Amino acid sequence: MSYRISPVLSPSAIPIPGGLHPGKEVIIKGHQIPGADRFQVNFQSDAEEEAGSIPLHFNPRQSMGYVVRNAFYGGWGPEEVEEPEFPFRDDEDFTIRIITFPEYYVVHVNGRHFIDFPHRASFEEVKYLAVGGDAEFHEVIFIDNIQMLPYWGTFPGIDDQFLPGSGVRVRGQVMQGAQRFEINFCNSLDGGDDRPFHFNPRMEDKKVVRNSQIDGGWGDEERDTDEFPFKEGDFFEVTIVASDDCFKCFWGDERVNYSHRIPIENIHNLMIDGNVALTSVEYLVPHLMQVVDIPAVVPIPHGMSEGKCAVIRGFVPDEIDRFHINLQNDPEGNEVGYHFNPRYEDKEVVQNSCLGGWQEEERSKRPRALKQGRPFEVRIMAWDDKFTVYVNGEYFSSYSYRCPLEDIKFLAVDGNALFYEAYIDLPMRQPYVEKISGYMMPGRWLTCRGVLKKEEDANRFQIDLQTGEQCPPESDSIFHFNPRMEDRKVVRGACIGGGWGDEERDQPDWPFKPNEFFEILINVREGGYMTYVNNKPFVWFNHRVDSTQCNHIGMLGDAHFFHIDMV
């Protein structure tokens, strides 16, 4: 499960969906203010700091050059300050990753292991993440461990009732020999007697069964569909969104509606089980950004610059006139560097700028991905001379800058669409190395996302599963994945003891294009690694060294890299 909040108000206390449990990760991204004194990240039992306990207090003190760790239970305990080095630098971005283990919290800073903090009381008390102090907080991400099935999750931000427009996006792989799997919208964490919606692909029948469980009994099944894409070994993506009168289900090009049989306002939990390996579970809750009201205006950290990407996810209702996405120079939108405006009455997308008045429009046919009644994702990528726009992963258009890129300071969304997320994806500083939590055992998945640079700037990049913090050959790379654009080949190999072994170059196709996004998945298996590019099987690489020796992932080269998912 992943659930993102951006921007993050400071100070603020954010409810942690489902609380803490072993394997839960909390990621905090921000920026160190120059000359600042200190900031804090707390795990708290209550939204108000003084009202309850603080099982973890993480307190970088820039003026003193160390990080205080402590806990509060009616009074502060002994401070812990020992650390390898102070990892926070003036005027630099930071990423804090906190992972809950049964005996302690593990804290990584900027991809490297920082400290362990033993529990002084049960982590089950923790209900809130609180941030504050002298730092900018850009983004918070909550990630559940989805390796073990059945998976139980809690819809975030739903305190009183489940709202129309809420839903879930589930991605994964159908296992070999799979018979069925299920996605359930439940009223309680144990399933109880009511499951308002049961989504159940059955491989033996090649049917997708939909049903409801009411007072412990199942109703009549609905089975009619035009396609069944859930085949052994294939990736799948299912999106389910609740409207006022039905659940809307999407997979591939299929859309199926399932009319509500019981009220949905009491839905709080999600359960997934069956013969699948999950790679991501994303909760879709409209307007759950901390800037809740629509129109929403999101500050862009330090303004727009090359390599940054605006990401907007939402849902287009059946009845809609238009909506828009602005990259604008001021919070009021008086000056707009880029205006993206789907107009449904015209079946077009208008692109424009407002700089002392609206300028000449650029009109294009509205893409099928922005059709009514469907979820959407728009990515707007900043290059040195233009924006490139992608809708649901497909290239849509390019738009040359009409004002200096650095003048753009805000992302704004408005209109008749339901907006789930609106944030700025920041490229990782290279070389990027991140500690892998836990062991690289068979069954684990790593997902790396990025965008290839322009053709004249793109030569090669690499992803390494490695044994230390240094790039190979200083650290061993037990799996080296190296796309080389000039050869249109992906070279695979390993670097052991400072020496490179034999290269492997066979591949089914060449999946990388300049200026376009890619997603690379690496699945650890008994005999080797299976890789996938853009949800399609790519190549196999036999283990040359036991995968459990890998403890870091490194990325370097002619691409902008964004978030890494580890399952």
Q: Which of 398, 425, 452 is the last residue of a domain?
A: 425
Same structural domain for residues 171 and 276?
A: yes
Same structural domain for residues 155 and 137?
A: no
pLDDT of the residue at 51: 81
Same structural domain for residues 174 and 263?
A: yes
Confirm whether 132 is domain-assigned: yes
Query: Which residue is associated with the tokens 């859309």?
Result: 255
The pair phi, psi for residue 46, each rounded to 5°, is -140, 155
Could you tell me if 553 and 445 are in contact, meaning their C-beta atoms sit under 8 angstroms apart? no
Confirm whether 44 is domain-assigned: yes
pLDDT of the residue at 199: 98
Domain that holds residue 117: 2-143
pTM over cut 0.85: yes
Q: Mean pLDDT of residues grouped by 10 in the chain (567 residues)?
A: 82 91 93 93 92 95 95 95 91 94 95 94 94 94 86 77 88 94 90 88 95 95 90 93 94 91 92 95 74 77 94 93 97 98 97 98 96 94 96 94 98 93 91 90 94 92 96 96 97 96 97 94 96 95 96 96 89
Confirm whether 291 is domain-assigned: no
Confirm whether 290 is domain-assigned: no
Same structural domain for residues 88 and 159?
A: no
Confirm whether 526 is domain-assigned: yes
Confirm whether 22 is domain-assigned: yes
pLDDT of the residue at 181: 97
Report the number of secondary-structure helices (H) and strands (E) in the chain: 0, 44
Same structural domain for residues 441 and 370?
A: no
Could you tell me if 290 and 157 are in contact, meaning their C-beta atoms sit under 8 angstroms apart? no
pLDDT of the residue at 31: 93
Confirm whether 289 is domain-assigned: no
The pair phi, psi for residue 549, each rounded to 5°, is -75, -15
Same structural domain for residues 85 and 107?
A: yes
Confirm whether 110 is domain-assigned: yes
Q: Which of 425, 446, 465 is the last residue of a domain?
A: 425
How far, CA to CA in Å, does 98 sit from each of 223, 268, 428, 481? 43, 25, 18, 28
Same structural domain for residues 436 and 417?
A: no
The Cα–Cα gap between 366 and 396 comes to 9
Same structural domain for residues 326 and 437?
A: no
Q: How many CB atoms lie within 10 A of CB 427?
A: 18
Same structural domain for residues 436 and 561?
A: yes
Query: Which residue is associated with the tokens 């002994």?
Result: 78
Same structural domain for residues 420 and 500?
A: no
Enter the tokens of residue 291.
């800037």
Q: Considering its fold, how many domains does the chain have in total? A: 4
Same structural domain for residues 348 and 263?
A: no
Q: Which of 401, 425, 449 is the last residue of a domain?
A: 425
Same structural domain for residues 116 and 17?
A: yes
pLDDT of the residue at 458: 92
pLDDT of the residue at 179: 96
Q: What CATH number is attached to the domain comprising 120?
A: 2.60.120.200
